Amino acid sequence: MSIIKNSIWNLIGYVIPSLIAIPALGYMARKLGPELFGIYTIAIAVVGYAGIFDMGLTRAITREIAIYRTNWDERKKIVASATLFLLTLSILGGFIVLIFSSSIVHFLNISATDFSDINNSFKLLAFSIPLFLLNQLWIAILEGDEKFKVVNIQKSFSSTFIAGMPALFVIYNGTLLSAVAGLVVSRIISLLIAFVLVRKEIMQSGMQPDVKTLKRLIFFGGWITVSNIISPAMVYFDRFIISNMLGAKHVAFYSGPSEAISRLAIFPAAVGRAIFPKLSSVKHRDELKKSITLSWLLMFAVCAPVVIIGIVFSENILNLWLGANYALHSKNILIILLVGFLFNALAQVPFAAIQSAGKAKITALLHCVEIIPYFIMLYFFVQHYGLTGVAFAWSIRVIADCAILTFINQRLLNRQVSVVEPT
């Protein structure tokens, strides 16, 4: 299957849920109010950050399944080892969030009237972490086989529930706890759908882990784990900083545009998720170069029009989606984030190319180098420029990240060209 065809299927899988998510988030922003809606976006960030307990296994299993596509004995070892290991880690992650939920809430600098609601919400949120991680892992099996039609049918159904269920619960009871309860229920549904799709692989594996296979998965995933620790911190930490330094009520005016960018990420994600297994399975140098070039062109063609439309109609979009109050406070933030979004989208191509070559160490070390300067810049910009400064800090970082990844990938390609003769 071609990158373009797989990207189209991925785009379908993202677009359909977004048709539910966009109005659902708009309703919740109005119903919950700025503070609780801002905290809800932080709750989503906490689940996303729990990806550190993934240990890079979802990325590793996609790569391994792509490599051992017809080796059924090896596939059984991969599925069993990854599932049991991740189940253990995800339960541990859930307990950690549960134990430290009160500390997280205290850090967020919230109003006293909402403390109980928010504290209980974060305790409940802990139960969604194993559900989230196992779902990611099982879907990675299908991605390794490049079964993107099946993947995105699952994604369309499960993500629709994830997007819409919290809003339905809020209609019944306008509290943050209700929203999080809806999120947990939707995660259960999503996991059940994923299990149905890969139940044959899971059952045939016999759940007999193989130490050698697990070591191989962890070795590849180890450096990805470093990225999984640092990258979400750079993506989501700005919300925690805003809440702590400016107050929780200000989070929503930043997280509103930020969530818009997250929804727009369906476009680069559709291409990016198709790129990785394709590049992982390519053996010939010329085919690799062709696939990377096609990925660049496709990524730009998909994302550039979205950015232009978003910039031109930023105020109208925010007013229609979240309300006039958000349009007033968040217009410039959205424009700045859109510029960064384009470069962040383009960066997915060299990022996937580097990792597919088994060089996850490089991307992990890059994130290690980036994080301290970014946090310093973020702290300085928040102090001097408020919410607009946060947007500038993020966009500057992702532009620099894109440039560095492109340079590194080109060096790797040149090195490969110089030592590998075409066959």
Mean pLDDT by 10 residues, the chain (423 residues): 61 69 84 84 76 70 76 80 84 86 78 80 88 85 77 78 89 90 92 86 76 76 64 73 78 82 77 67 67 81 89 88 80 93 90 75 79 88 89 92 88 60 37
Q: How far is CA 266 from CA 67, 111, 133, 135, 261, in A?
A: 26, 34, 19, 18, 9
Report the distance separating Cα 299 and Cα 72, nearest Å.
34
Q: Do 145 and 157 form a contact (C-beta atoms < 8 A)? A: no
CA distance 345 to 343: 5
HEC-encoded secondary structure of the chain? CCHHHHHHHHHHHHHHHHHHHHHHHHHHHHHHHHHHHHHHHHHHHHHHHHHHHHCCHHHHHHHHHHHCCCCHHHHHHHHHHHHHHHHHHHHHHHHHHHHCHHHHHHHCCCCHHHHHHHHHHHHHHCCHHHHHHHHHHHHHHHHHCCCHHHHHHHHHHHHHHHHHHHHHHHHHCCCHHHHHHHHHHHHHHHHHHHHHHHHHHHHHHCCCCCHHHHHHHHHHHHHHHHHHHHHHHHHHHHHHHHHHHHCHHHHHHHHHHHHHHHHHCHHHHHHHHHHHHHHHHCCCHHHHHHHHHHHHHHHHHHHHHHHHHHHHCHHHHHHHHCCHHHHHHHHHHHHHHHHHHHHHHHHHHHHHHHHHCCCHHHHHHHHHHHHHHHHHHHHHHHHHHHHHHHHHHHHHHHHHHHHHHHHHHHHHHHHHHHHCCCC
Report the pLDDT value the prediction gives residue 418, as an integer from 0 to 100.
43
Check residue 339 and give its pLDDT: 94
Q: Which of 345, 195, 359 is nearest to 279 (CA)?
A: 359
User: What residue type is assigned to position 383 of the chain?
Assistant: Q
First to last CA, the chain: 23
CA distance 337 to 304: 13
The domain of 9 spans 3-419
What total number of domains does the chain contain? 1
- Give the angle subtended at the CA of 264 by the CAs of 262 and 265, to the nearest 5°: 65
Side-chain half-sphere exposure of 227, counting CA atoms within 13 A: 19
**Packing angle, helices 251-264 and 3-49, rounded to 10:** 160
Query: How is residue 237 written in tokens?
Result: 């930490």
Question: Distance between CA 146 and CA 151 in Å, rounded?
Answer: 9
